[in-house]
């Protein structure tokens, strides 16, 4: 009878021990002075108790212990509430115009009524917009369009992304197209070098012309626009473009989307850098410009759907794509709403 009771007590203890092990409630106790490595197997130098595995389970039951652990780790965790995304609309002025990512902008109509402005009198570098004044001074020399110019190393040196090479022979007409359509600096240098006016005198005439056009804040130190010291304002550049496109030659060339010519060495194909030529509006003249100090600039004459002509200027856009995107936004707003407003519309900062 006593033997039966002992067997029952042993089985009960064994069952309780297995249950505790499966629930993870018992592991071999570690000595308070033992190291972390020792606490995993007991005191250093001792082997685990008979029938107990290194992991603290009973030998012969690793799969059960593993199953119990996986069951415990797979319990669902409480879900965190996701914060609802806030609806962010683009900042607009009191007139509903999205604030522009440019340093300055300006739009006027054919009667010089201001339709839109942002920092119109802020003096900024204008990059290759300089070439509009360069071409006007060059036209004063009454050029021979068929004269052939040989390109020299000084024309190509430090001329940015020119495709013209030294010793190429190119006509004045073709160089003039390259300067206006693709802002080629080597072409511009060659035209100025061979026009019969010394460089210092040529730049002086550029500054005098800007003053006479009502843009006294405009200043030039060289004819290409590669220097950040060539500066103007959005307001001044609108006046300069108006004057430049009074020339039929400048107006016609800046309206061309493509142009090809052949030098003594190769064929050149020019693509106009003014992307608005491929927009829904009619472009009657314009010029782009870029150097790092100036950002991306654009000045252009546009004829709207109803035949109304405006001049738009964008200075200091952070990218080429944004230059034209912001110009489109200004023009779209102008032709939709701006023409009917009786006063100047500021864009804000």
128 catalytic? Reply is yes
| C-alpha to C-alpha distance for 155 and 150, rounded to whole angstroms | 10
| C-alpha to C-alpha distance for 31 and 247, rounded to whole angstroms | 98
String of b and e for 292-305 (b: at least 16 CB within 10 Å)?
A: eebbbbbbbbbebe
DSSP 188-257: HHHHHHTSSS-HHHHHHHHHHHHHHTT-TT-B-SSSSS-STT-EE-HHHHHHHHHHHTTSHHHHHHHT-S
Phi, psi of 283 (to 5 degrees): -95, 125
CA distances from 229 to 108, 123, 221, 296 (A): 26, 11, 7, 16
Exactly one of 118, 131, 189, 287 is catalytic; which is it?
131
For 328, the enclosing helix (H) or strand (E) is: helix 320-336
- Report residue 70 CA to chain centroid gap: 51
183 catalytic? Reply is yes
Assess contact for 44 and 34: CB atoms under 8 A: yes
Exactly one of 128, 159, 182, 232 is catalytic; which is it?
128
Residue labelled with tokens 């106009």 = 272
Q: Which tokens go with 246?
A: 């009074």
Count of beta carbons in the 10 Å neighbourhood of residue 90:
7
For 291, the enclosing helix (H) or strand (E) is: strand 282-291
Q: Which tokens go with 127?
A: 């990059």
Rg (CA), the chain: 39
Cβ neighbours of residue 348 under 8 Å, at least 6 residues apart?
Answer: 93, 99, 118
118 catalytic? Reply is no
Exactly one of 118, 159, 182, 183 is catalytic; which is it?
183
In terms of Cα–Cα distance, which of 157, 120, 115 is closest to 332?
115
Tell me which residues are annotated as active site: 128, 131, 183
């Amino acid at each position: 009878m006593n033997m039966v009771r002992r067997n029952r007590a042993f089985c009960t203890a064994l069952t309780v021990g297995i249950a505790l092990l499966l629930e993870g409630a018992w592991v071999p106790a570690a000595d308070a002075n033992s190291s972390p490595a020792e606490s995993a197997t007991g005191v250093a130098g001792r082997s685990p108790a008979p029938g107990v595995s290194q992991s603290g389970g009973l030998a012969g039951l690793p799969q059960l212990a593993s199953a119990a652990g996986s069951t415990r780790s797979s319990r669902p965790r409480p879900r965190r509430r996701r914060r609802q995304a806030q609806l962010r609309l683009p900042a607009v002025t009191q007139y509903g115009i999205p604030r522009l990512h440019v340093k300055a902008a300006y739009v006027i109509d054919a009667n010089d009524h201001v339709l839109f402005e942002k920092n119109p009198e802020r003096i900024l570098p204008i990059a290759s917009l300089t070439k509009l004044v360069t071409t006007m001074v060059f036209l004063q020399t009454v050029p021979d369009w068929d004269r052939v110019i040989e390109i020299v190393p000084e024309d190509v040196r430090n001329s940015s992304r020119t495709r013209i090479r030294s010793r190429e022979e190119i006509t004045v007409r073709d160089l003039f197209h390259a300067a206006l359509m693709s802002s080629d600096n080597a072409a511009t240098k060659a035209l100025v070098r061979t026009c019969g006016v010394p460089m210092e005198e040529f730049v002086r005439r550029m500054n005098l012309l800007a003053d006479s056009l009502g843009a006294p804040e405009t200043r030039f130190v060289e004819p290409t626009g590669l220097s950040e010291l060539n500066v103007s304002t959005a307001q001044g550049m609108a006046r300069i473009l108006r004057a430049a496109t009074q020339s039929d030659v400048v107006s016609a060339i800046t309206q061309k989307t493509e142009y090809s010519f052949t030098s003594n060495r190769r064929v050149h194909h020019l693509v106009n850098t003014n992307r608005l030529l491929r927009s829904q509006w009619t472009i009657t003249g314009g010029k782009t410009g870029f150097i790092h100090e100036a950002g991306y600039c654009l000045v252009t004459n546009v004829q709207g759907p109803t035949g109304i002509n405006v001049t738009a200027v964008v200075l200091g856009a952070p990218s080429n794509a944004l230059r034209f995107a912001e110009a489109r936004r200004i023009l779209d707003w102008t032709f939709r709403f701006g023409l009917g407003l009786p006063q100047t519309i500021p864009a804000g900062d």
